[in-house]
Structure 1
Amino acid sequence: MKKLFSKQQFMIGLVCLLIGFMIAILFNTNHKTTDRDTRDTWEIRTALLEEQKIQQNLYKEIAEAEKTLSEYQEQTEHQQIQSLKESIQKLREQAGLTEKSGQGLIITLKPMFLNNDYQEYPEINAELLQLFINELNAAGATEVAIENQRIINITPIRDVSGNIYVNNSSIGDLPTELYVLTNNSQQIKNHIEVSEIGDYFALENVTISISKESDITLPEYDEQIDLRDIEIVDVAKEGES
């Protein structure tokens, strides 16, 4: 009887402990102060679209890599060598190390002259140009070049002594042309025309002109890729947290 009573006391104590723990968590959750996100709606929307696009691309790359590995294991030695060459070429294309052609848009950023007697020649800054690139990517651009500079994942866009440098080359003064490859030119054109990005450029007295083209050739990225600052991170497998 004493043993049974002790067991009951232990179970009751354990239940009370769990209830108390749950109440403490609930109280802490309800009273926890959340840091206010100071970003505006446009910045949050753009960041969310970028993260979704990165996640989708990652899943696609994983599926393609698994398919390639499966095919590679079933091939002869000669076929394996050929597959490696094709994979290397494909990776070069994906990295922007080769010319690439296709349908798309030519977007011209040019001065909006309001008063030729008093208005200074319009300029844009690197931050606004980077914002525009992000907007194009979010709208469905697959490849982008600014003037003769191919944009890849590690391309820096910087302000240097009043000039904008893309990669390590100055793109000069306005007008500036962007070349965009996409499978849906009209979608990007519509998106840019209703986006707030046009208002941002208008504040700098710059206007956006868009023309659809059936054949555009983007230059290759011809600079050395420096991987010294690249960090390798572990990606959790599906089902892991």
Structure 2
Amino acid sequence: MQLRNKIIISLVCAFTGLMIAIQFQSTQEPTERDTRDLWEIRSQLQVEQKKQQQLYQQIAEMESIKDQYEAMSEQEQIDTLVDSIEELEQKAGLTDISGKGILIHINPIYVEMDTEQEYPEISPELLNRLINELNNYGATEIAIENERVINITPIRYVNGKTYVNNRALPSLPLQIKVLAANPERLLDHIEVSQSRDYFAIENLDLTAEVSDELLLPKYEGNINLDNLEVNESQETGEE
């Protein structure tokens, strides 16, 4: 194989490795006792199993692409490399994306009472619970207000504010955009979701509607790959 072809294939493999590593990264949270209930643990397990299946599928796809490279001309390899990088960037949430899905509205609920009421706020726990349910029910892409949610998105409570991607969410009402292959089915799940009950307990009203065209922004945060190491011998084909 020509040296140029080896270099092109190595670049594809290296970039693919970076994208796969992004999916393995977990949110860096302070060390604390796990207080999740059984429902939350099961939901998180289902999400992680889904990620694992997607990872295996991506590895198989990359193996197929690698085989195709070896049978291509030099210009075809370059064109395919560009297409592969664009596709990987889209899967990693690094590009704007649009499509059909559901639009979720979160509004405060006011109850008639004599005492003064605090203005409702959405907590990281509620958001994480909702995101887990959306993923389980077929969501492909999610954005909370102007923040794209990807596999390494941190959702935290800092100084009295809920932060997504290290940016504070604005006060209620909020919008959550969700792309899905079958928005109608996803909407049906949300209508009977346990999350609606949990939101209501916190004086939050959760409603949703199908939308034919939603635009989700790209992930704007920094992806930390400092802990990645490249195996030089495998990448260049040396023993």
Q: How does 1:1-241 map to 2 (within 5 A)?
A: 40-115=37-112, 118-228=116-226
1:29 corresponds in structure 2 to none
After superposition, the CA RMSD in angstroms is 2.0
Q: What amino acid is the match of 2:109?
A: M
In structure 1, the gaps of 5 or more residues are 1-37, 233-241
SS at match of 2:221: coil
TM-score, normalization: structure 2? 0.76
TM-score, normalization: structure 1? 0.75
2:236 corresponds in structure 1 to none
Deviations 1:55-112 (A, max 9, x none): 3212211221121111111101111111111111111111111110100011011111
Number of paired residues? 195
Q: What amino acid is the match of 2:112?
A: N
Q: Write the distance in 2 (CA, Å) between the matches of 1:39 and 1:111.
A: 25
Q: What amino acid is the match of 2:121?
A: E
Q: Write the distance in 1 (CA, Å) between the matches of 2:130 and 2:205.
A: 13
| Distance change in 2, residues 1:168/1:48 (3 Å) | closer
Q: Is the 8 A contact 2:190 2:208 kept in 1?
A: no
Deviations 1:131-160 (A, max 9, x none): 211111111100000101111111111111
Q: Write the distance in 1 (CA, Å) between the matches of 2:171 and 2:201.
A: 17
| Distance change in 2, residues 1:59/1:211 (3 Å) | same
Q: Deviation above 6 Å: which 4+ runs of structure 1?
A: none
Higher relative contact order (CA 8 A, sep 6+): 2
Q: Is the radius of gyration larger for structure 1 or structure 2?
A: 1
% identity of equivalent residues: 49
Q: What amino acid is the match of 2:105?
A: T
Q: What amino acid is the match of 2:136?
A: A
SS at match of 2:196: helix
Q: Write the distance in 2 (CA, Å) between the matches of 1:133 and 1:71.
A: 37
CA shift, 1:195, in A, is 2.0
CA shift, 1:49, in A, is 2.0
Q: Write the distance in 2 (CA, Å) between the matches of 1:169 and 1:67.
A: 39
